[in-house]
Chain A
């Protein structure tokens, strides 16, 4: 009796040890790290509609930043947004994904200007919104919340550190791309991973996803 109990315990310990190791090494499920809580934001889109972090709950949101007179530093993120939009137009199943470009120049970028930016970028308003907001709120959300630096300079333009941010349906920050030319494949992969996680995180599979977070199964 005692002997079988001890053998059973050996077996159990070995099973746990090997499955833990296999999970950590082979990473059967990959997740993006949870970097922190995204900021609360309040924006107006190109049609004057209000958009907030609350109304965006449940949606995966990819943010890019810029202003209408921005050229080189904004082109990289625009190409990425266009690529993700093409994927969204092909369909992502039941998980909604929203693209949001925030202009930090509300004085110039009125709804009419935002509509023009949207048209120039080839944005489909069903997937991709152009927004701006009240300057002080924007500063707290973009600068304080997303840690994305921008500031007016002497030439009447803006200094801006190119960045894009990916937020999940719970409002949690999942990826940041702090480069003038984010890699399209990387952003697409990350969006797909978040869609997959949201789709599969039901029932028992949810615990497998939580385990993937514990074992740092990062792509």
Chain B
């Protein structure tokens, strides 16, 4: 093999290659350190953590009596409790144009929550409260369902949001 066929890398090109690979290295170290040294703790605000064993007990948390409530005119909150294999409540009726904040958590295993026709789509983890807001501008029936496989009854985990005319 002679010198002319050697692959020649320009120093600056080499610099960029090394930077790219070190970034992958740094991220891997960061993820592993966060995971193993810090126990996979996600930065979750205090009010989004809940004890999954207490969550369904009336009075202990707001999920004791899940459902829809009015916070102020035009502003509602829906608390939905997931469990294998159902959502409580199964049906939520809201007037069109109302801002609804969904709080969803689970009392057993990991589930998912996807609400058609909205931006609401999240994982539902035991011990954490998932929260997102939406406003439906068109009356109709919108399905929500669990989209994280959670066992033999997974296909029965669904419900409906009914958006009514004002």
Which A positions have Cβ atoms within 8 angstroms of B? 2-3, 6, 9-10, 13-14, 17, 20-21, 24-25, 33, 35, 139-140, 143-145, 147-149, 151, 161, 163, 175-179, 186, 216, 218
Contacts and interface: CB of A to CB of B under 8 A. Distances in A.
A144 B77 CA distance: 10
Given A21-B29, A139-B72, A177 B47 contact: yes
B155 interface: no
Contacts of B26: 17, 20-21
Nearest to A6: B11
Interface string B13-51: 001001100110010011001100000000101110000
Interface of chain B, main secondary structure: helix
Contacts, number: 66
A177 B72 contact: no
A163 B33 CA distance: 34
B12 interface: yes
Contact of A6 (B15, B43, B74): B15
Interface residues of B, number: 27
B46 A176 contact: yes
Contacts of A149: 62, 69, 71, 77
Nearest to A73: B59
